[in-house]
């Protein structure tokens, strides 16, 4: 399909590389009859922004992921715009505009629930003081502030991947390509613009984006783009934990979470995000921890594909279940506490360590804690306990984790999961009978 979409585009690149000057710049303009993008597939609100900026005398283009997705025949999640108007000039044109960000100054044009993000063309940093309010880097090379404005050509070079440096001009319906992105898209290649080491140091999250796009689009990572990742992976420690939480959701809840996980491990990025988990992996990758992660990610991908709701709290509850059990055993040996107290301490220990890297919000950690504690409570079903557990707001999520664990651990856990599966679906009379039967079974065990 990708080849069919870009069949006509190919001859433009053959012509382009015949000319030495064009080969240096990689610039090519694709006319309307040579690409598949139609205005009917573009957000009406994005078109309004483009038309109004053009009417005010500014250059304005659709740019980035929306162009990439439209060319691939996919529905874009959002529509971004690049312009030569400054954020302050944009705000004067649109009353429904708010300016956000210090590191990257952006304009958000609000249309109800839809937000059209408008960015001013980025320029290069030559001649800019590193101590000004315009541009600033950290000692590792990471951009802390980047409000240097420039031309569309400079903006293209400042973008991360070649496939994201594509601009759609609503005036004449052409696509502008400054970095060979159309050719890379046609060939299924993820390629960073510029020197990969420098670009990763500017923003280490680009390593995660490389992996995410490779998994999402089923594309290959260019060798030069891939080579520095393992070496530079520790730079993720410099990224704020709140930002890494947002990135982790994009990685694991994009509908391609399992393939993303495999690539994260391959490029040694998973251990930077989840050291609590990674250090418990076994050599043959066949431990219970690896199995439950694969299970929950495949299940999440399936639910997203079928338009079903997913909850990051459940995903993380599955991820950290075995690390918590491991830490519980350590706490029990070292402190001599009862198992439940050691378990509670382990929850705090694991979450405290993990949240220093990925700031999982309290609204999620509270749910995760309920799911984990119910795993212990679900073993004790006598009297009124089973009925109380069934009424717990997080029972269903806890049961799903129990069922997942039983498919991995087998043994008595299979019987426990089967009991709860029946208990939640039968009549009240049958529920009472099931609980009484448990009491009789316990008495027989005691007599023996």
DSSP-derived 3-state class of residue 80: strand
* Bridge partners, residue 137, by sequence: 143
Question: Please, what sign has the CA dihedral across residues 434, 415, 321, 424?
Answer: negative
Is 203 annotated as catalytic? no
Q: Report d(CA 298, CA 146) in Å as an integer.
A: 38
CB 113 within 8 A of CB 119: no
DSSP-derived 3-state class of residue 377: helix
CA angle 40, 41, 44 (to 5 degrees): 70
Phi, psi of 189 (to 5 degrees): -120, 130
Question: Please, what sign has the CA dihedral across residues 264, 269, 274, 280?
Answer: positive
Is 415 annotated as catalytic? no
Q: Which of 80, 146, 177, 349 is catalytic?
A: 80
For residue 316, with 0-12 CB atoms within 10 Å meaning exposed, 13-18 middle and 19 or more buried, which class applies? buried
Structure tokens at 131: 């101590």
Structure tokens at 401: 């984790």
Residue 231 backbone class (left: φ over 0; alpha: ψ -120 to 50; beta: rest): alpha
Q: Which of 78, 124, 341, 421 is catalytic?
A: 78
Structure tokens at 152: 């569309």
Q: Report d(CA 162, CA 64) in Å as an integer.
A: 9
CA 31 from centre of chain: 34
Place of tokens 């717990």: 392
Q: Which of 146, 160, 184, 370 is catalytic?
A: 160
Q: Report d(CA 284, CA 268) in Å as an integer.
A: 16
Contacts for 428 with CB less than 8 Å, ≥ 6 apart:
none
DSSP-derived 3-state class of residue 106: strand
Phi, psi of 39 (to 5 degrees): -65, -25
Structure tokens at 290: 């690896």
DSSP string, 26-64: --EEE-GGGS---GGGS-HHHHHHHHHHHHTT--EEEET
Is 78 annotated as catalytic? yes
DSSP-derived 3-state class of residue 172: coil
**Which helix (DSSP H) or strand (DSSP E) does residue 319 occupy?**
helix 312-335
Structure tokens at 112: 């109800």
The residues annotated as belonging to the active site are: 78, 80, 160
């Amino acid at each position: 399909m990708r080849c069919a979409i870009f069949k006509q585009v190919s001859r433009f690149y053959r012509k382009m590389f015949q000319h030495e000057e064009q080969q240096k710049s990689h610039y090519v303009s694709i006319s309307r009859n040579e690409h598949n993008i139609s205005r009917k597939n573009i957000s009406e609100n994005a078109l309004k922004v483009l038309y109004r900026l053009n009417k005010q005398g500014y250059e304005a283009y659709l740019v980035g992921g929306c162009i990439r997705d439209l060319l691939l025949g996919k529905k874009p999640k959002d529509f971004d715009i690049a312009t030569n108007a400054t954020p302050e000039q944009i705000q004067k044109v649109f009353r429904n505009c708010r300016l956000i960000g210090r590191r990257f100054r952006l304009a958000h044009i609000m249309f109800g629930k839809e937000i059209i993000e408008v960015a001013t063309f980025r320029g290069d940093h030559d001649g800019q003081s590193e101590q000004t309010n315009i541009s600033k880097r950290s000692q590792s090379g990471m951009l802390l502030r980047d409000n240097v404005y420039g031309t569309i050509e400079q903006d293209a070079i400042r973008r991360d991947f070649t496939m994201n440096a594509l601009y759609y001009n609503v005036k004449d319906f052409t696509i502008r390509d400054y970095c060979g992105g159309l050719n890379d898209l046609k060939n299924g290649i993820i390629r960073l613009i510029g020197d990969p080491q420098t670009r990763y140091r500017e923003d280490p999250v680009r390593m995660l984006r490389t992996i995410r796009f490779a998994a999402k689009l089923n594309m290959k990572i260019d060798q030069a783009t891939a080579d520095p990742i393992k070496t530079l992976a520790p730079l993720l420690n410099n990224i704020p934990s709140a930002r890494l939480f947002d990135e982790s959701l994009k990685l694991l809840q994009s509908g391609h979470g399992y393939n993303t996980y495999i690539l994260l491990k391959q490029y040694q990025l998973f251990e930077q995000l989840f050291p609590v988990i990674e250090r418990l992996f076994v050599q043959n990758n066949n431990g219970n921890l690896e199995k439950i992660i694969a299970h929950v990610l495949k299940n999440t991908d399936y639910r997203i594909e079928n338009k079903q709701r997913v909850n990051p709290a459940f995903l993380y509850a599955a991820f950290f279940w075995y690390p918590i059990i491991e830490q519980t055993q350590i706490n029990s040996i070292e402190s001599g506490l009862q198992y439940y107290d050691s378990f509670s301490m382990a929850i705090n220990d694991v979450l405290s360590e993990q949240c220093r890297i990925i700031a999982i919000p309290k609204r999620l950690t509270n749910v995760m804690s309920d799911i984990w504690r119910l795993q212990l409570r679900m073993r004790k079903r006598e009297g009124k306990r089973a009925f109380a557990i069934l009424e717990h707001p997080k029972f269903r999520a806890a049961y799903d984790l129990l069922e997942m664990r039983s498919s991995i651990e087998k043994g008595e856990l299979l019987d426990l999961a089967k009991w709860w599966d029946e208990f939640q679906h039968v009549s009240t009379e049958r529920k009472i009978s099931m609980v009484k039967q448990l009491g009789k079974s316990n008495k027989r065990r005691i007599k023996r």
